[in-house]
Structure 1
Amino acid sequence: MNILDQLNQDMKDAMRSRDKQRLSVIRSVKSSLQNESINKGQELTDDEILTVLNREMKQRKESLHEFEQADRQDLVIKTNAEIQVLSEYMPSQLSDEELRQIVHETIEQVGAQSKSDMGKVMGAIMPKVKGRADGSEVKQLVHQSLS
C-alpha cells in the first residue's frame, strides 16, 4: 500500500472514530499533495509524495520552535500531536551511527578534503538520506567530518 492509499484509508478511519486532530492533519497533507500534483500536472510519485511530507514536517517543526519561544503551550501541544501523526507516514529515521557511516562513505566517494567541498558532499548525501534524516543534522555531521 503506497502512502497516498494509506492516507485515504487513515482519513476514513479518523472520520469514523471522530478523531478531529488526526483528520485535520491528514486533510492538510492531502491538500498539499493535491496542490503539488496540480502544479506538476501529473500524479505524484512516491518520492515526490515523500518530498511533500518532508516539507509539511519541516513547517510544523519550525512552528513548534516559534511556539516554544513564545511560550504558547496550547499551540506546542497541538503541533506536537500533528508532528506525531505526520511521523507515521515518514520512513524510519536513520540512527546516528548509520548516518555517520553514510557521511563517511560519501566523503570518501566524493574525495572531499576540506570545508570547501561541503556542497559536493551535501549534494551527494541528501538523495541517499531523503526523508530518513534531518538536513541540519546531516550538515552538522558533514561539517564536523570535514574539519
Structure 2
Amino acid sequence: MSDTGLKHSITEAMKAAMRARDQKRLGTIRLMLADIKRIEVDERIELDDARILAVLDKMQKQRRDSIEQFAQAGRQDLVDIETAEMEVIQTFLPAPFTDEELEILIEQAITESGAESAKDMGKVMGLLKQRAQGRADMTAINKKVKARLG
C-alpha cells in the first residue's frame, strides 16, 4: 500500500512537527491523518488525492463554522485554537481561487450544464464541486450561483 502524494506530504509534515516539537501543528496534523484513516478503514479503500482534498476541505468548513459559533459566544480562546488549526490545514490545500477565477469557473459551469434558472442549481453545483474542491468555500459559491441563476 503506497501513500498518495498528499497523504505522504501530510505524514512527512507530521514527522517534521514531531522533530521540531511543535505540539499544536502536530496535533492538527494527527487529526487530519486520523480523519483520513477513519474513512479508509470504514470504506476499506485507500483515498486518492482528490478524496483527501475533500476531507481537508470538510475539516476547514467545520472550523469556519466553529469559529463563527465561538465568536458569537465570546470564546476568543477557542476561536484562536480553531483559527490555528485552519491555518495548518490550509497549508495542505491548493491555493484558493481569486474572485475573477471563481466568476469564470461559475460561468463555465452554467454554460456547460445549460442551466437557466434556480431549478438547475444542482447541475451547476455538481460541476463546481469537482473543480473547486479545496480551493473555494462551497457555501460562498452556492450563494454566487444562486444570485446568478435567481
Aligned mate of 2:77, from 62, 74, 85: 74
User: In the alignment, which residue of structure 2 is the partner of 1:21?
Assistant: 24
Runs (4 or more) in structure 1 with deviation over 6 Å come to none
CA distance in 2, matches of 1:42, 1:124: 24
1:27 CA drift (Å): 0.6
User: In the alignment, which residue of structure 2 is the partner of 1:40?
Assistant: 43
User: In the alignment, which residue of structure 1 is the partner of 2:130?
Assistant: 127
1:32 CA drift (Å): 0.6
Q: Is the 8 A contact 1:3 1:49 kept in 2?
A: yes
Q: Deviations over 1:68-103 (max 9, x none)?
A: 011101111111111000000011111111010111
CA distance in 2, matches of 1:4, 1:109: 32
Aligned mate of 1:146, from 137, 146, 149: 149
TM-score, normalising length: structure 1: 0.94
CA distance in 2, matches of 1:37, 1:51: 13
Are positions 1:8 and 2:25 aligned together? no
CA distance in 2, matches of 1:80, 1:107: 34
1:53 CA drift (Å): 0.8
User: In the alignment, which residue of structure 1 is the partner of 2:104?
Assistant: 101
Letter in 2 for 1:60: R
CA distance in 2, matches of 1:4, 1:111: 36
Once superposed, what is the RMSD of the aligned Cα atoms?
A: 1.2
Q: Deviations over 1:27-75 (max 9, x none)?
A: 1111111101101202111111111111211111111111101110111
Letter in 2 for 1:109: E
Are positions 1:90 and 2:93 aligned together? yes
Q: Deviations over 1:92-136 (max 9, x none)?
A: 111111010111111112121111211221122211111111111
In the alignment, structure 1 segments of 5+ residues that lack a partner are none
Q: Identity over the aligned pairs, expressed in percent?
A: 37
Aligned pair count reads: 147
